[in-house]
């Protein structure tokens, strides 16, 4: 028997901790070809930090918005969600503006206009008016700048998820699964503009992971006891092991062609393939019913460095995107390193510097944000446990 959350009103630092780990992994993976990307968990299975991030976002949404929604304050809860969407929208626009400015400045400085071609950046050069309209509408999807639009899409669905969950959690989960199936069968997505096709992170399919996280968050807050199964645990372990062999051995082509919603080839993230989803669920199951949660409950506190990163998710994520763009430019176009995570000594030295400086800045931002919160010092001095309050929607 496992009781994941003994005090429903306390802050669960384990969520912040795993969000912090996901943020670190996203930052490392977003600098193409760097040596340390060999060691993020996408190299050992069918899912990666994006799935973990969205699952935890669903859990956080349940903690931040659902209690107020249940207590008869649905308009206030939805208003808070709308405010959060506005914050995310501004964060998206500013990150795209700074990211494109960095690429453009590097293209001019290095006399290398090709920097503005990959990852759909060429639309800014080819069709600037359409590109600017797409940026404002969030339909201009480009590498490193497509996660926040998906998250905005998920929050737009959140009131409906909460309305169904108020009736029954299983109803919200069933509706989410049905929408995922319909999206995959009829290829429903949000259209790109000005590029053809749909969003790389299709919110109509990713909402299933978000809703699963939401249901987990509700149960966590209620302090529900969850019973594990030894045979299911062994099955999940076996699935993780087989997935690791598959990915590490690059055995993608040894299987018959299957629909995208069933199988996954490489890391196409648009349709949330079934095997990819099962990998995430197996990973969660193995972690939840292992000694790890109990250990983390005893070990973690508000001052843990990784917890600080997870507690300040949006600003840390925003800065990580800007730093990843800078690292990408420096690594490939200033130091001339290949887009390939090799074991070259010079490359490892450069990668260590880029990742080390980036992580120092991310941790510094998290420490500064905690230090600068109104009344933080007084609150912690008079009541050290007060920081364990309910999840803030601003996070």
Determine the average pLDDT of the residues in 113-124: 92
- CA-to-CA distance for 184 and 160, rounded, in angstroms? 20
Residue 385 is predicted with a pLDDT of 39
248 exposure class (CB count in 10 Å sphere: 0-12, 13-18, 19+) = exposed
Structure tokens at 249: 């051995």
Higher pLDDT, 291 or 264: 291
**What mean pLDDT is predicted for residues 229-258?**
88
Q: What is the mean pLDDT of residues 72-89?
A: 97
**Structural domain count of the chain:** 1
DSSP 391: P
**What is the rounded average pLDDT of the residues 159-180?**
98
For all residues of the chain together, what is the average pLDDT?
Answer: 89
- What's the token pair of residue 288? 């939840």
Tens of pLDDT, residues 24-60? 999 999 999 999 999 999 999 989 999 999 999 999 9
Average pLDDT, integer, range 344-357: 93
| Both structure tokens of 344 | 């070259």
* Residue-level pLDDT at 271: 87
Has residue 188 been placed in a domain?
Answer: yes
Residue 392 falls within a domain, yes or no? no
Rg, C-alpha atoms of the chain: 21
**pLDDT at 226 exceeding the cut of 60:** yes
Q: Name the residue range of residue 358's domain.
A: 13-371
Of the candidate ranges 3-17, 88-102, 143-157, 239-253, the one whose mean pLDDT is the lowest: 3-17
Instruction: Provide the whole-model pTM.
Output: 0.92
Band (3; pLDDT cuts 50, 70, 90): very low
Distance, CA of 180 to chain centre: 19
Three-state DSSP class for 5?
coil
Residues 6+ apart with CB under 8 A from 116: 103, 104, 107, 122, 124, 125
- Decide if 389 is inside a domain: no
Placement of tokens 């943020």 in the chain: 23
Q: Check whether 386 has a pLDDT greater than 60.
A: no
Given this model, what pLDDT does residue 137 score? 97
CA 332 to chain CA centroid, nearest Å? 25
- The residues, any chain, with a CB within 8 Å of residue 338's CB and separated by 6 or more, are 33, 332, 347
Residue 234: Cβ-neighbour burial (10 angstroms; 0-12, 13-18, 19+): exposed
Q: Would you place residue 377 in the very low, low, confident or very high pLDDT band (cuts 50, 70, 90)?
A: low
Burial 198-225 (b: 16+ CB within 10 A, else e): bbbbbbbbbbbbbbbbbbbbbbbbeeee
Top pLDDT among 164 and 340 is at: 164
Tell me, yes or no, whether 380 lies in a domain. Answer: no
C-alpha atoms less than 13 angstroms from C-alpha of 392 in its C-beta half-sphere: 12
Residue 383 lies in a domain: no
Q: Is residue 2 situated within a structural domain? A: no
Rounded CA-CA distance 231/219 in Å is 23
Report d(CA 40, CA 49) in Å as an integer. 8
Is the pLDDT reported for residue 267 higher than 70?
A: no
């Amino acid at each position: 028997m496992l009781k994941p959350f003994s005090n429903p009103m306390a802050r669960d630092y384990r969520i912040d901790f795993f969000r912090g780990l996901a943020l670190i992994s996203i930052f490392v993976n977003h600098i193409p070809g760097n040596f340390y990307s060999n060691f993020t968990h996408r190299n050992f299975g069918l899912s990666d930090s994006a799935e973990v991030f969205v699952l935890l976002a669903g859990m956080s949404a349940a903690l931040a918005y659902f209690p107020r929604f249940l207590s008869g304050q649905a308009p206030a809860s939805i208003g808070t969600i709308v405010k959060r969407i506005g914050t995310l929208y501004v964060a998206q626009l500013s990150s795209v503006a700074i990211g494109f400015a960095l690429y453009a400045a590097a293209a001019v400085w290095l006399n290398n206009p090709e920097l503005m071609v990959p990852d759909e950046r060429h639309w800014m050069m080819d069709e600037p008016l359409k590109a600017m309209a797409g940026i404002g509408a969030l339909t201009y999807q480009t590498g490193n700048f497509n996660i926040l639009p998906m998250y905005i899409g998920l929050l737009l669905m959140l009131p409906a998820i909460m309305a169904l969950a108020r009736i029954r959690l299983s109803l919200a989960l069933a509706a989410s699964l049905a929408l995922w199936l319909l999206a995959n069968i009829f290829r429903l997505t949000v259209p790109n503009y000005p590029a053809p096709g749909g969003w790389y992170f299709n919110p109509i399919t990713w909402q299933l992971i978000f809703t699963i996280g939401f249901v987990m968050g509700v149960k966590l807050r209620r302090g529900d006891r969850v019973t594990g199964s030894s045979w299911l645990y062994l099955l999940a372990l076996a699935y993780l092991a087989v997935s690791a062999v598959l990915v590490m051995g690059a055995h993608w082509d040894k299987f018959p062609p299957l629909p995208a919603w069933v199988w996954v080839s490489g890391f196409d993230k648009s349709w949330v393939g079934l095997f990819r989803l099962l990998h995430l669920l197996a990973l969660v199951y193995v972690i939840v019913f292992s000694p790890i949660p109990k250990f983390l409950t005893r070990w973690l506190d508000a001052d843990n460095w990784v917890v600080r990163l997870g507690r300040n998710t949006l600003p840390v994520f925003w800065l990580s995107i800007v730093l990843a763009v800078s690292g990408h430019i420096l690594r490939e176009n200033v130091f001339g390193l290949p887009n390939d995570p090799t074991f070259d000594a010079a490359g490892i030295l450069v990668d260590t510097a880029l990742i080390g400086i980036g992580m120092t800045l991310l941790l510094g931002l998290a420490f500064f944000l905690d230090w600068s919160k109104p009344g933080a010092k007084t609150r912690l001095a008079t009541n050290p446990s007060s920081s364990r309050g309910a999840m803030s929607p601003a996070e």
